[in-house]
A = this chain, B = another copy of it.
Amino acid sequence: MEKEITIYDIAKDLGVSPATVSRALNNHPAVNEKTKKKIYNAAMEMGYQSNVFASNLRSKRTNNIGVIVPRLNSSFQSSVLAGMEKVANEAGFNLIISQSLESKDKEIANTHSMFNSRVDGLLVSLASNTESLEHFAPFIKKKIPVIFYDRVGNFEEMFGVTIDNMKAAHQATSHLIEQGCQRIVHVLGNIKVNVYHERLKGYKYALLDHSIPFDENLIIYSDLNEEAGYDIVQKIKSIEPRIDGLFVSNDACAASCLKQLKLEGYRIPEDIAVVGFNNDVISRLVEPNITTINYPGYEMGELAMRNLINHLDVNTENLLKNTNRITLRSELIIRESSKRK
């Protein structure tokens, strides 16, 4: 290991006092811009590392913010992370990212690891089988803010950033009904996850509002991946009386269903009108284009991160207690896959 470069080395090299170097590197107003620049350049050239550890020990801050996602490998989550990173980077924070892989146990382990790494705050989208928020208690106890987003669980006591999933699903279902659909299949994920729970509610309420009876046989549970279309369409074929609408809880899976329906000879939207969710790229590239809910992941990431950073500078407890939920606007985008009129 090479000897660590200190401010004394820089001072000696430039023929200024160590105090000037220290002030310059801390951007002190008493040092003029030209000198600052000279000292900054010399520090870079010589490979000086500001003593983050020591400074962290003093400030009790690491400037690291933890993010736990169900899967990194997801179009929605990568948009969210892109938004988070932008805000964090501009505010001088680093992002520490880990994935739960939809496992409660891995989420707990990641939470402990984030806690021991002393992150200044934590952003979490929950695993599908997480049943309690106990593992976040050490953060709350230490007054380290935790903000949930998208997958916020069905917990009332925590702070979360979401869209109005119920309303979005109500809109999607109502749109299908307005296009003349009476037998609408809803494809969704694990009902323990708040987003699917809320969307199922929205679907049911829309039927009710249009006096269409709810039929349990029209609900299909799926892992919503890009290959799920085959199985879903097999189920759809066996449903009597035959269906005329399909509302799928993500676009990749909706695209997979669309492809399979066409292979089976169904005309879209004439025989079956299709609506997806998320407004992923794929919804705009398949034929016909898929009607979907625009779910602004990037904006959600920005908003969640901005809120977290704000919480670091104020009396966290009160803010988190007084605000329970931030809801982002989402909207229905009508395209060819459902437009009959």
Contact = CB atoms under 8 A, between A and B. Distances in A.
B49 A226 contact: no
A71 B81 contact: no
A60 B52 CA distance: 12
A82 interface: yes
A82 B71 CA distance: 7
Given A73-B79, A141-B47, A85 B56 contact: no
Interface string A88-129: 010000111111010000000010110111100000000000
B53 A142 contact: no
Contact of A60 (B1, B94, B141, B282): B1
A118 B49 contact: yes
Interface in A216-238: 226
A339 interface: no
A138 interface: yes
Nearest to A78: B78
Interface secondary structure of A, over-half rule? helix
Contacts of A57: 53
Contact of A143 (B1, B74, B98, B110): B1
Contacts of A262: 287
B50 A53 contact: no
Copies in the complex: 2
Contacts of A256: 285
Contact of A226 (B52, B81, B138, B281): B281
A96 B259 contact: no
A64 B94 CA distance: 11
Nearest to A96: B94
A175 interface: no
Interface in A33-75: 44, 47, 49-50, 52-53, 56-57, 60, 63-64, 71-75
A212 interface: no
A52 B52 CA distance: 13
B82 A44 contact: no
**Most chain B beta carbons < 10 A, residue from A96, A142, A256, A285:** A285
A112 B113 CA distance: 25
Contact of A78 (B49, B63, B77, B113): B77
Interface in A284-302: 284-287, 298
A296 to B, nearest CB: 12
A163 interface: no
A239 to B, nearest CB: 24
Contacts of A286: 285-287
A117 B78 contact: no
A255 interface: yes
Given A2-B142, A60-B1, A96-B96, A285 B226 contact: yes
21 contacts: A2-B141, A2-B142, A44-B138, A47-B141, A47-B142, A49-B115, A50-B116, A52-B116, A52-B118, A64-B96, A72-B81, A72-B82, A74-B78, A75-B78, A78-B78, A85-B99, A89-B110, A226-B281, A226-B284, A259-B287, A282-B285
Lowest 10 A-B CB distances belong to which pairs?
A: A73-B82, A78-B78, A72-B82, A47-B138, A255-B285, A72-B81, A226-B281, A47-B141, A94-B96, A50-B116
